Amino acid sequence: MEYAGQSAAALGRAIAAGEIDPVALTQAFLDAAEAHAESGRIYARLTPKRALAEAKAAQARTRAGTRRGPLDGVPISWKDLFDSAGVATESGSAFLKGRVPGEDAEVLARASAEGLVCLGKTHMTELAFSGLGLNPVTQSPPCVNDPEAVSGGSSSGAATSVAFGLAAAAVGSDTGGSVRVPACWNDLVGLKTTHGRVSSRGVVPLCARFDTVGPLTRTVEDAALMLSVLDGSGAADLRGATLAGRRFMLLETVAMEDLRGAPEAGFFSAVERLQAAGAVVERREVPIVAEAMALAGPLYGAEAWATWADEITAQGDLMYPPVHSRFSGGKDVRAQDFIKAWQRLDVIRLEWAALVAGYDAVLLPTCANMPPKQADVLADEGYFSSENLLALRNARIGNLLGLPVLTLPTGLPSTGLSLMGPAMGEERLLRLGAAAERALA
């Protein structure tokens, strides 16, 4: 059986059937990562000793008939902001170089307890504060569709480890689009979870009130299984999922502005296929979305600056200047403006929930632009800023509104369709996603 390109669920089923040995599977992924020409730009560090020990334990459970779940023995990667005991966790930053935690992040510990195999830690945007995936301080992973382009961030290595066949699935974080942008640009499924649904204990923070943990996978089934591992819930039942009669709102406000040609074509082609499968799609403008977006500057900037001000003040010269500028933009936000912005956003979230209560989900393009060339972004800080803001714009809507969002590949390379559901409604969203996935196949 060819391992690369298989879904995590398919590999898990093959392990259960005795068709794949977990140790052989893990060694194959480690060997592939060691040999791949782009591995050094994708993995910050491999953890072969841990991976093989976990694989041997999974092998023993398989032989004893005591597997812990459908992904027991499946090898995955972890973004380098999840603490890993005895292994460096540096969050893509020179500030944290050589930082070695004493224990695993709660989600990594939970995944290991469920039998998943940790292959290693993946490169990421510096301190997770950019959506392009460019990091001159460490490494900038390549887009699977264009080796000269950025991969999307900040979970850049997480996405590319899966897209290039160097992990069966990956775990990333999403504060303003950091799971969904790289998933979109590398033709993967990405799930941004509701804030607070998955533990962030032991995760290097950016903006704690927006930080979320989520999987990057090949299929919706994999995303559902990974979520069940990460938060300890039962996996969503995807059987019998259908689009027939489902009502979707196509969000006109903000999300449809300034779309580039390919993202627009991919999105509307996907919408047509959903409608052909029986979905009802209604276009609607929601002005409070624009109001919420206007609050992003003080909310994100102030918290990011407060989180990292001491390090940036002491060692700011170690940072990539455009990322330094993003952090510094929050230092002059007044406390009263920050509090007032949160008070208004809490009201907007309630108003949104009432406005969309009659819809099964809301549709929007995942990204408004395509991944730019790395050389072009490096050469022009203004271009970095404009492309970064556009890449994150649509994704940030879900973070501001406090919603789970699932991105699916449209079939046109590096373009995505996003479905936004109600807060804590991941299971319902995943069922819709499974039906949409079949319609888009």
Active site residue ranges: 79, 154, 178
Q: Tokens for 66?
A: 């005591």
Edge-to-edge strands, sheet with 189-192: 43-46, 117-122, 75-79, 170-174, 212-217, 189-192, 405-409, 416-420, 361-365, 247-251, 280-284
Sole residue written with tokens 């950091």:
178
Q: Number of C-alpha atoms within 13 angstroms, CB side, residue 228?
A: 20
Q: Tokens for 58?
A: 């999974």
| Crossing angle for the helix pair 321-328 and 381-401, to the nearest 10 degrees | 50
CB 12 within 8 A of CB 26: no
In DSSP notation, 234-297 reads: PPP--TT---TT-EEEEE-TTTTTT--HHHHHHHHHHHHHHHHTT-EEEEE--HHHHHHHHTHH
Amino acid present at 306: A
CB 229 within 8 A of CB 379: no
Spatial distance between the Cα atoms of 43 and 141, rounded to a whole number of angstroms: 9
